[in-house]
Structure 1
Amino acid sequence: MNRINPIALFRLSVLGSLTSRERLDHGELQQTIRALAEREYTIPGTRRRHVAEKTIQGWYYTYLAQGIDGLTPKTRVDRGQSKLSQAIQTAILAAKRDNPRRSIRQIRQLLEAAGTVARGSLSRSTVHRLLQQHGLSRISGSASLPEEKRSFVAASAGAIWYGDVMHGPRVPHEGKLVKGYLVSLFDDASRLVAHSAFCPGETALDIEGVLKQALLKRGLPIKLVVDNGAAYRAETLQGICARLGIHLIYCRPYAPEGKGKLERWHRTCRDQFLSELDERHINSFEDLNARLWAWLERVYHHTPHAGLDGMTPLARYQQDLSKIRSLGALAAQLDALFRYRVSRRVRKDGTVSYQGARFEVPFELSGKTVCLVVDPHSGAVIEVEDEHGKGIGAATPLDALGNLDRQRNKSDPTDAAPASPSGPNLIELTYRQYYDRKGD
């Protein structure tokens, strides 16, 4: 399974909810794109923090036509080179520096009016690339009206899930007490907890483990709304959501839409579950989670909710079973979608290492770099792939004792021996000349 380009994943995350909207009201597209352009981003490969409206609009239409593959950047053969003369380049840069708010259209009009270039001869993309190379492509933002915020609820169960982490109690783990983190995925329309688990961390791996169980139990959500934490920005999580057709949407800093419902769930968990927990029975995360899941299924999901007009989360969820996207054929591929791929160089003895353990791969790969397909939760190495994602063999745990008696493939000595020369030979000529003279 080929890796999704990180730039494509970033562009998809910028588009956010736009990719899942079936219908946009008149003017809503430009309004949304304008709001996206005003945000700050961590853009891969650059120190810039903003993305231009025209760029976002181009990504949007490309995604509609080609999907995530269309968001993968294409390398230009003339990258870094400008076809403009030095005099025209200087005029463009001077016009922009003189008035940073000048648009490309205004710059072209100015140069045409001054007779610097012929009318219609200067393309917008050429000017844009030149300005971009010199860090002058962005127009400073203007004042905007205060953002209108309204309470909302998803139309049906499975339309929107929220993901978040709550700090939990200290739990015995690997011989010591460690802090637990409650990772939850919460359905907006029904207030049902798709899945939740206490984990020893709040890493991408912890979040992906909870997501996998939620998908198996509750099907595929249309949108998954999360915060901007590093774990949620992980390339692995973005790739999983992209392949499953889940629109991964990041809340803006200090404006976490939907967090009110999640905070209400966290408060309920603290007040009704943690406050009643007898920690004398908790010797591991398995003990804690077993009690959490029993309480969820027997109590929380069957308790009338004020936000649902007295309905229980489970009853509200079951109303929309026909609208929820099932995994279908994807269920058989789910394990493969959640696997990690790590690069390793094969030693001369045909082994590679992963998490302190050694594995054997086909000996023909010695000295080559391969990709190990691993189950990150169990640490098992499933198979070996080449750099293009093609399976090239299995990886098995090293059996050093068994290798003592194992028959090895050996090279044929006759293959390595040089062929006997049929023509003149320097060694033989020297030998004869030396001993012939010695006999004299």
Structure 2
Amino acid sequence: MNITKDNQWRDGKALERYMLIAPLLEGSLDPAKRLQMREGIASRNGISLRSLYRYEAAFKKEGFSGLKPAERLKQHSAKLPDNFKEILEQAVQLKREVPTRSVNQIIYILELEGWAPVGTLKRSTMQRHLYNAGFGQKQMQMYRDARNSSSKRFCKPHRMMLIQGDIKYGIKLPIGKNGAMVQTYLSSAIDDHSRYVLHSRFYDNQEESIVEDTFHKAILKAGKFDACYFDNGSQYIARQLRFSLSRLGITIRHAPVRSGKSKGYDKIFFM
């Protein structure tokens, strides 16, 4: 593994660890509730309480960089099959079809279908490549945990403790080629306590880049906040957005599925 790949892997592991401990960093939690949440996180993710304590201590001492694994001094990757690119594409497709499929199950199916000889594909190698592609099993579990652990509608007691982000449909404007009508979208970042709009702008698309731009400008205008609250749209679970916010120590929360009441500030603002 070259230096760039190794750094990407270390960043990915740090993000994975941060997403595990993020709910435990809430300052208003009492010790009993924090312990209960810690035990639940450990049980759901198959890790020890000691590991969670270690991750929390490392983050408090060194921030996001403290969660990175130690640099690898030796390269020790096995030779990949010549058709590994095609094998990985098939593995991603299998994961998309059934998100709960384990790496071992995916390897078994690939071997059964003749994509690779039995014993050629290593679990650790396939797991790493699936993670880099955004389909690691722990990544998928984190998405589910984030949805299941989010709270109902509430209001934080102070400004900049929580910022809500959302995208709403705007009007169609003749800004396309030869005056063609184009759908616009309003992306906003709003303070949960004061309802103050940190940044809001119309865009001609609803890709993840508009969310990155919205929160980049919100932070430039108002500074860093403690946490953010999103729905489960693809723009808000994008890896780069989560990576950037977590590096700043900003906790990421997601609204429960089919819980529209917990996300409504942008609707009020737009009206």
> What is the TM-score normalised by the length of structure 1?
0.37
Q: Deviation of residue 198 (structure 1)?
A: 1.8
> Per-residue deviation at 1:66?
3.0
For 1:288, the equivalent position in structure 2 comes to none
CA distance in 2, matches of 1:253, 1:149: 7
Q: Is the contact between residue 17 and residue 247 of structure 1 (CA under 8 Å) also seen in structure 2?
A: no
- Please tell me whether Structure 1 or Structure 2 has the larger radius of gyration of its CA atoms: 1
Check if 1:5 corresponds to 2:11.
yes
**Contact 1:13 / 1:250 at 8 angstroms: preserved in 2?**
no
1:97-112 alignment runs, 5 A limit: none
Match of 1:36 in 2: 41
* Paired AA for residue 66 in structure 1: E
Q: 1:76 and 1:22, CA in 2 relative to 1: closer, same or farther beyond 3 A? A: farther
Identify the residue that residue 67 of structure 2 maps to in structure 1.
71
SS in 2 for 1:158: coil
| 1:260 is the counterpart of 2:261 | yes
Could you give the per-residue CA deviations for residues 230-287 of structure 1, whole angstroms, max 9, x where no partner exists?
Answer: 32233432343244x341313164276xx63642431452xx3xxxxxxxxxxxxxxx
Determine the structure 2 residue equivalent to 1:195. Answer: 199
| Equivalent in the alignment of 2:30 | 25
Aligned residues: 193
> Structure 1: 5+ residue runs without aligned partners?
40-49, 81-131, 133-146, 273-440
1:62 aligned to 2:58? yes
State the distance in 1 between where 2:209 and 2:232 align. Answer: 16
Check conservation: 1:156, 1:189, Cα contact below 8 A.
yes
Given candidates 216, 228, 244, the residue that maps to 1:240 is: 244
Mapped to 2, the partners of 1:57 and 1:228 lie a distance apart of 28
Whichever structure has more helix as a proportion of its residues is 2
Aligned to 2:134: none
Residue 173 (structure 1) aligns with: 175
Q: Is the 8 A contact 1:182 1:199 kept in 2?
A: yes
Q: Say whether the 8 Å CA contact 1:226–1:248 is kept in structure 2.
A: no
Q: Secondary structure at the match of 2:160?
A: coil
Q: Which residue of 1 aligns with 2:119?
A: none
**Partners of 1:170 and 1:178 within 8 A in 2:** yes
Amino acid at match of 1:29: R
Q: Does the CA-based 8 Å contact 2:42-2:48 persist in structure 1?
A: yes
**Cα RMSD for the two superposed structures:** 3.8
Distance 1:187 1:35 in 2: 29
Q: Which has the higher contact order (CA 8 A, sep 6+)?
A: 2
Which TM-score applies when normalising by structure 2?
0.57
User: How has the CA–CA distance of structure 1 residues 14 and 163 changed in structure 2, closer, same or farther, with 3 Å as cutoff?
Assistant: farther
- Residues 153 and 262 in structure 2, CA contact (< 8 A), matched pair in contact too: no
| Change over 3 Å in CA distance of 1:237–1:214 after alignment to 2 | same
Q: 1:115-163 CA deviation, whole Å, 9 max, x = no partner?
A: xxxxxxxxxxxxxxxxx9xxxxxxxxxxxxxx99665321211111011
**Equivalent residue for 2:94?**
none
Aligned CA distance change for structure 1 residues 222 and 255 (closer, same or farther; 3 Å):
farther
Residue 184 in 1 paired to residue 184 in 2?
no
Q: Aligned with 2:245: secondary structure?
A: helix
The answer to whether the Cα contact below 8 Å between 2:242 and 2:252 also exists between their aligned partners in 1 is no
Alignment match, 2:20: 14
Match of 1:408? Answer: none
Amino acid of the structure 1 residue aligned with 2:213: G
Aligned to 1:226: 230
Aligned 8 A contact 1:155 1:189 in 2: yes
Q: Which residue of 1 aligns with 2:213?
A: 209
Shift of 1:51: 4.5
Deviation track 1:343-401 (CA, whole Å, cap 9, x = no partner) reads: xxxxxxxxxxxxxxxxxxxxxxxxxxxxxxxxxxxxxxxxxxxxxxxxxxxxxxxxxxx
**Structure 1 residue 225 displacement after superposition:** 1.9
Q: Deviations over 1:2-59 (max 9, x none)?
A: 877122122212322323x3464232222112343566xxxxxxxxxx4535344442
| Percent pairwise identity | 24
8 Å contact from structure 1 (residues 6, 235) kept in 2: no
What amino acid is the match of 1:65?
A: K
Does the 8 A contact of 1:203 with 1:231 survive in 2?
yes
Change (3 A) 1:208 1:267: same
Q: Cα gap change, 1:169/1:38 in structure 2, threshold over 3 Å: closer, same or farther?
A: farther
Per the alignment, in what secondary structure is the counterpart of residue 174 of structure 2?
Answer: strand
Cα pair 1:186 1:194 within 8 Å, conserved? yes
Mean CA deviation greater in 217-226 or 158-167 = 217-226
* Alpha-carbon distance change, 66 to 231 in structure 1, aligned in 2, over 3 angstroms: same
